[in-house]
């Protein structure tokens, strides 16, 4: 899974967000290391919709404080949640292998 897809799905895992909200959340999730420029963000959102991992909402979610407007809101789908969970499991397995190897590598100096 592409890195920016992972963080977009992670951003949407706990709440619906609009594009600039996703951009801000991804910056926070990555300690300002991953900036999603608009072309990358909206291209990725379109691709994630093609995979049926997210969907655009017809209107802002209740309680968002937004009514109408031009912001596009997005929600992760069950398929997107499964894809995110699979990627988390893959990353977890990689971290376990790396941790084990580092523990057994000793001091190289």
pLDDT, one tens digit per residue, over 7-43 is 999 999 999 999 999 999 999 999 999 999 999 999 9
Q: Specify burial of residue 32 (Cβ count, 10 A radius: 0-12, 13-18, 19+).
A: exposed
Domain map (residue ranges) of the chain: 3-105
Beta strands in the chain (DSSP E): 17-18, 54-56, 73-76
Which numeric CATH code is attached to 3-105? 1.10.10.10
Q: What is the pTM of this model?
A: 0.88
Task: Calculate the dihedral angle through the C-alpha atoms of 70, 75, 79, 85, rounding to the nearest 10 degrees.
Answer: 130
Residue with tokens 């893959």: 90
């Amino acid at each position: 899974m592409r890195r920016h897809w992972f963080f977009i799905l992670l951003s949407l895992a706990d709440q619906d967000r609009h594009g600039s909200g996703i951009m801000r959340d991804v910056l926070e999730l990555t300690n300002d290391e991953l900036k999603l420029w608009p072309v990358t963000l909206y291209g990725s959102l379109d691709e994630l919709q093609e995979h049926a991992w997210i969907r655009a909402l017809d209107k802002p979610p209740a309680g968002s404080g937004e009514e109408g407007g031009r912001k596009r809101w997005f929600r992760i789908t069950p398929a997107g949640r499964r894809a995110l969970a699979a990627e988390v499991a893959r990353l977890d397995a990689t971290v376990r292998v790396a941790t084990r190897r580092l523990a057994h590598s000793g001091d190289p100096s």
